């Protein structure tokens, strides 16, 4: 099963950007994030890192350095943030699963706007080891998916304690897959009232009503002082974030997104007495909400106040008041992550745009609400998501043959250091990228100059396998495992994105390539279970078998070249 990650996850061999310009100067990560390792150990294949709002301080999915993540249902609209690329990639059927982070709503907002499922687990349930932080006391990591089954699969394999994240709890794995079809018998489901029924456009009201009807929910409960909880979350977010970035703010203020920089500057000037009050209120609010959960098991609330706004839209009107879009998209998510409650966003396929609903459970009891994810939308949202994957051409024979031939030509030129052929193959474009173990190159000119000065020695490699998957007629991903005699028993990997520009009359050309040195991957990385062979090829065979046993909707049926569709999306 292929998956992708928000680019605040460490990916071995790449700098962890966290959506920023500044982090591009960081050295390459020596090791994958814990959650990537656990996904790959279960047979998933990482295909890349995705766009995000700078340093995760964003609700729109717009990035001042790399451009916006676009909504797969309407590219003129926001994907939501800060995990915008993750929502866009899953909603657009580029991958069945993506990982993101959620501090104040950054999984739930893109899930709502892009019409997909998203899970923010209980605080401390999934390890954050080797991911770039934002607000340590509020940060959560979690998955996006187009189906409840894929969401549960990803969550289950990522569970488990991790001493490298001090906040990760030493709690045994609690599988959710067996609970999905148990339904909601015996669960006490309520609707959030008061604060959560204000500041809504009609589509958000309709979405909550539909999910409530499907779950038979009529009881209304009120989370006390939810508006103060959101205000306290703002204070803790901006002050912790400012403390984290203070050195960067002093040394490189002009390299920040101005909107992010200004909020961090403001956080640095908030008096400590306000932070102290916010933290004390946080404990009180947590106790009050947990007391509320003595009488209910699940609470429903809107995920966003509206469907996805237009990219660049500055203001919207809620309850007759014109408000700035960027800080107020998360008006209904912030009080929930403020106290670490587990919450899933489920999509409701309205027209013309989908919108999400939060299904909230008590701390460490999210698994009990698993049946709500499927029952809550009566299967309609899963069918809607599935329909978006039914008409994309996966591995068309002629396209696959063309890219395979081009890749073979590339490989021959690489090992022989045929600079002329390599220069011809790569697209002459300022957006062409190359990431290596010791260099990050941006634009064709930088890549060509690097290649011209590179010594020929050491380029010879032996390919273990290359998997090429084509999407439609104009996009392909090539994933290669390779060995070098200079690093016996170790495996390197390379990922390439090949793009065809039909208007230019071109064949497919690589526009991005990332590779990691065999020295970066000890062969034991491929063998996590005691007693298994240390042969990397044997481990690769096991990984293939694992993927085949749990084939995702995106790649199932590849052999018969089934028609599949992805709505247009940009996950830059």
DSSP 121: -
E-only strand ranges, 96-164: 97-102, 117-120, 140-145
15, 69, 82, 88: which one is catalytic?
Answer: 82
38-72 b/e with 16+ CB inside 10 Å = b?
A: bbbbbbbbbbbbbbbbbbbbbbbbbbbbbebbbbb
DSSP 415-440: HHT-HHHHHHHS---TT-EEE-SS-E
The candidate with the shortest Cα–Cα distance to 387, out of 565, 558, 555, 560, is 565
Structure tokens at 7: 């680019």
| 82 catalytic residue (yes or no) | yes
Q: Please give the C-alpha separations between residue 471 and each of 255, 444, 478, in angstroms, as whole numbers.
A: 35, 24, 11
- Residues with Cβ < 8 Å from 262, sequence gap 6 or more? none
Structure tokens at 14: 């790449």
Q: Classify the phi-psi angles of 319: left when phi > 0, otherwise alpha if psi is within -120 to 50, otherwise beta.
A: left
Distance between CA atoms of residues 84 and 160, nearest Å: 27
Structure tokens at 157: 């394999």
Structure tokens at 18: 């966290």
- Residues with Cβ < 8 Å from 314, sequence gap 6 or more? 324, 325, 326
Q: Please give the C-alpha separations between residue 245 and each of 81, 237, 250, in angstroms, as whole numbers.
A: 20, 12, 9
CB neighbourhood size of 468 (10 A): 19
| 20 catalytic residue (yes or no) | no
Structure tokens at 310: 């237009």
Do the beta carbons of residue 125 and residue 161 sit within 8 Å?
Answer: no
| 416 catalytic residue (yes or no) | no
Starting at the edge strand found earlier in the chain, the sheet holding 2-6 runs 45-50, 2-6, 97-102, 140-145, 117-120, 343-348, 355-361, 298-302, 189-192, 219-221
Do the beta carbons of residue 477 and residue 3 sit within 8 Å?
Answer: no
- For residue 352, say if its preceding peptide bond is cis, omega within 30 degrees of 0: yes
Distance between CA atoms of residues 545 and 538, nearest Å: 11
Do the beta carbons of residue 65 and residue 20 sit within 8 Å?
Answer: yes
Beta bridge partners of 190: 219, 299
6, 101, 112, 512: which one is catalytic?
Answer: 6
69, 101, 106, 112: which one is catalytic?
Answer: 106
Q: At what angle do helices 148-158 and 34-41 cross, to 10 degrees?
A: 110
Q: Give the gyration radius of the chain's Cα atoms.
A: 23
Beta bridge partners of 88: none
- For residue 285, say if its preceding peptide bond is cis, omega within 30 degrees of 0: no
Residues serving a catalytic function are 6, 82, 106
């Amino acid at each position: 099963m292929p998956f992708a990650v928000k680019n605040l996850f460490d990916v071995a061999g790449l700098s962890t950007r966290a959506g920023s310009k500044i982090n591009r100067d960081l050295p390459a990560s020596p090791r994958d994030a814990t959650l990537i390792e656990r996904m790959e150990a279960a047979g998933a294949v990482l295909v890349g890192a995705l766009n995000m709002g700078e340093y995760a301080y964003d609700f729109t999915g717009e990035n001042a350095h790399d451009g916006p993540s676009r909504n797969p249902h309407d590219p003129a609209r926001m994907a939501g943030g800060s995990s915008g690329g993750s929502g866009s990639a899953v909603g657009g059927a580029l991958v069945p699963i993506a990982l993101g982070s959620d501090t104040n709503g950054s999984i739930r907002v893109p899930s709502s706007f892009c019409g997909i499922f998203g899970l923010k687990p209980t605080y401390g349930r999934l390890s954050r080891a080797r991911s770039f932080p934002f607000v340590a006391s509020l940060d959560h990591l979690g998955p996006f998916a187009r189906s409840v089954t894929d969401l549960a699969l990803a969550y289950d394999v990522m569970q488990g304690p991790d001493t490298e994240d001090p906040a990760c709890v030493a709690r045994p794995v609690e599988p959710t897959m067996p609970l999905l079809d148990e339904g909601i018998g015996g669960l006490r489901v309520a609707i959030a009232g008061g604060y959560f029924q204000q500041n809504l456009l009609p589509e958000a009201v309709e979405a909550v009503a539909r999910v409530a009807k499907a779950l038979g929910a009529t009881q209304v409960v009120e989370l006390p002082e939810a508006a103060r909880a959101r205000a306290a979350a703002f204070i803790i977010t901006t002050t912790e974030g400012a403390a984290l970035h203070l050195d960067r703010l002093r040394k490189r203020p002009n390299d920040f997104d101005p909107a992010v920089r200004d909020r961090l500057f403001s956080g640095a000037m908030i008096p400590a007495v306000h932070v102290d009050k916010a933290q004390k209120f946080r404990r009180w609010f947590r106790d009050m909400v947990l007391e509320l959960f003595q009488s209910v098991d699940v609470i429903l609330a809107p995920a966003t106040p509206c469907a996805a706004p237009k990219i660049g839209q500055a203001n919207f009107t809620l309850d007759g008041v014109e408000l700035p879009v960027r800080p107020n998209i998360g008006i209904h998510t912030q009080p929930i992550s403020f106290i670490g409650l587990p919450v899933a966003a489920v999509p409701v396929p309205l027209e013309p745009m989908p919108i999400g609903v939060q299904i909230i459970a008590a701390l460490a009891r999210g698994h009990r609400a698993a049946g709500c994810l499927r029952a809550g939308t009566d299967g309609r949202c899963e069918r809607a998501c599935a329909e978006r994957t039914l008409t994309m051409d996966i591995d068309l024979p002629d396209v696959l043959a063309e890219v395979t031939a081009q890749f073979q030509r590339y490989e021959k030129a690489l090992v022989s250091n045929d600079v002329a052929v390599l220069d011809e193959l790569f697209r002459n474009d300022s957006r062409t990228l190359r990431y290596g173990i010791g260099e990050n190159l941006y634009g064709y000119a930088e890549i060509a100059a690097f290649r011209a000065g590179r010594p020929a020695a050491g380029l010879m490699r032996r390919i273990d396998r290359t998997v090429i998957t084509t999407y439609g007629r104009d996009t392909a991903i090539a994933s290669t495992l390779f060995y070098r005699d200079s690093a016996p028993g170790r495996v390197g990997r390379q990922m390439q994105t090949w793009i065809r520009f039909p208007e230019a009359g071109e064949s497919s050309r690589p526009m991005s390539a990332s590779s990691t040195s065999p020295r970066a991957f000890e062969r034991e990385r491929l063998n996590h279970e005691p007693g298994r062979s240390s042969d990397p090829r044997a481990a690769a065979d096991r990984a293939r078998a694992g993927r085949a046993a749990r084939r995702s909707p995106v790649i199932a049926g590849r052999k018969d070249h089934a028609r599949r569709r992805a709505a247009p999306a940009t996950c830059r």
